[in-house]
């Protein structure tokens, strides 16, 4: 990466427990409402998701610009086993298309992403729900072996409905890096109905990676809500053998803050759009052992996108 800071910090192999902890909370919280002690439906519950986003060209430290387009689609099913227990299967795949311009040396090209999760849910008394969610993820550059970008995780969380307006839950996770490192972390998720119209919650949104999210929303009508959301995007992926770090790893981190528009005309359909700014981040190159060798800061830039979820 021409013009980057040469860090060569051989001991720095970790993405950061805080970011991974929030990542876990986001992934689990997406289905929290379905996992409440009210119980799963009598038969299998299916879900289809799709999301797309775009970030405008942003200046890079040392010169040049980078833009990115992202897309992800997935599906899942939850099967009730009785006694408040359900077992699920979720799978999906997507891409991130990076474009480097204005003289910027391209550290990588297009990235593929495949994910599989097996969530298990069960009740804890009258007001609690526990979730165990082992997962596998494969993320790699287009011409790299997808199997070389494999990482695994196990999330465990418990949520309690403390009142009619507040549900709160702690959790713990173990997440392996593709270069054989491991993170153990704690996280906290919240769903707080501050008033009849205002709501503060963690959850998914605003990007194609499993970054953390925190959203404050206002219900204009029963079907329409507006709000503001922030989210850490953090993606690590295996690189091919032709770039500046052959057979190594790339990492892209950013923090978008966006205005949101959510529309849910009935329980089986939810759609949203977002527009805001990526407040900046970093692009990092690592060698095959996960050692950080180069890093470049990324300037703020506009972002926009939309997502849809269908349940049946």
Domain ranges of the chain: 5-311
pLDDT digits (tens, 9 = 90+) for 38-52: 344 578 999 999 999
What does the alpha-carbon distance between residue 261 and residue 274 come to, in Å, rounded to a whole number? 6
So what's the pLDDT on residue 17? 35
Q: What are the tokens at 285?
A: 């190159």
So what's the pLDDT on residue 199? 93
So what's the pLDDT on residue 108? 92
- Are the C-beta atoms of 171 and 184 separated by less than 8 Å? no
Q: Which residues of the chain have pLDDT under 50?
A: 2-40, 205-211
So what's the pLDDT on residue 270? 93
So what's the pLDDT on residue 177? 73
Burial class of 7 by CB neighbour count within 10 A (0 to 12, 13 to 18, 19+): middle
What does the alpha-carbon distance between residue 18 and residue 28 come to, in Å, rounded to a whole number? 16
So what's the pLDDT on residue 249? 93
- Are the C-beta atoms of 37 and 127 separated by less than 8 Å? yes
So what's the pLDDT on residue 275? 96
So what's the pLDDT on residue 258? 93
**Closest Cα partner for 235 from 255, 210, 258, 256?**
210
What does the alpha-carbon distance between residue 299 and residue 53 come to, in Å, rounded to a whole number? 18
- Are the C-beta atoms of 192 and 165 separated by less than 8 Å? yes
So what's the pLDDT on residue 203? 64
So what's the pLDDT on residue 37? 39
| Through-space distance between the first and last CA atoms of the chain, rounded to whole angstroms | 47
So what's the pLDDT on residue 237? 92
């Amino acid at each position: 990466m021409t013009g980057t800071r040469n860090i060569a910090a051989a001991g720095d192999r970790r993405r950061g427990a805080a970011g991974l902890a929030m990542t876990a909370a986001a992934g689990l919280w997406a289905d929290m409402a379905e996992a409440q002690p009210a119980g799963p439906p009598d038969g299998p519950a299916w879900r289809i998701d799709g999301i797309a986003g775009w970030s405008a060209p942003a200046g890079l430290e040392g010169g040049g610009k980078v833009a990115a387009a992202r897309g992800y689609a997935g599906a899942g099913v939850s099967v009730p086993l009785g006694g408040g227990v359900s077992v699920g299967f979720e799978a999906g795949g997507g891409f991130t298309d990076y474009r480097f311009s204005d003289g910027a040396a391209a550290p990588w090209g297009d990235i593929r992403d495949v994910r599989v999760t097996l969530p298990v849910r069960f009740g804890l008394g009258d007001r609690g729900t526990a979730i165990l969610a082992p997962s596998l993820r494969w993320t790699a550059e287009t011409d790299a072996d997808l199997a070389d970008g494999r990482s695994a995780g196990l999330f465990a969380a418990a949520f309690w409905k403390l009142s009619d307006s507040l549900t709160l839950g702690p959790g713990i996770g173990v997440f392996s890096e593709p270069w054989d490192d491991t993170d153990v972390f704690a996280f906290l998720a919240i769903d707080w109905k501050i008033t009849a119209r205002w709501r503060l919650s963690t959850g998914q949104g605003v990007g194609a990676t499993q970054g953390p999210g925190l959203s404050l929303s206002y219900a204009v009508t029963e079907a329409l809500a507006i709000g503001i959301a922030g989210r850490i995007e953090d993606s690590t992926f295996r690189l091919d053998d032709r770039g500046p770090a052959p057979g190594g790893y790339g990492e892209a981190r950013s923090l978008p803050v966006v205005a949101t528009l959510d529309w849910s005309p009935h329980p089986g359909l939810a759609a949203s759009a977002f527009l805001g700014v990526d407040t900046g981040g970093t692009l990092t190159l690592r060698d095959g052992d996960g050692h950080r060798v180069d890093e470049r800061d990324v300037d703020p830039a506009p972002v926009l996108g939309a997502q849809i979820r269908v349940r049946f």
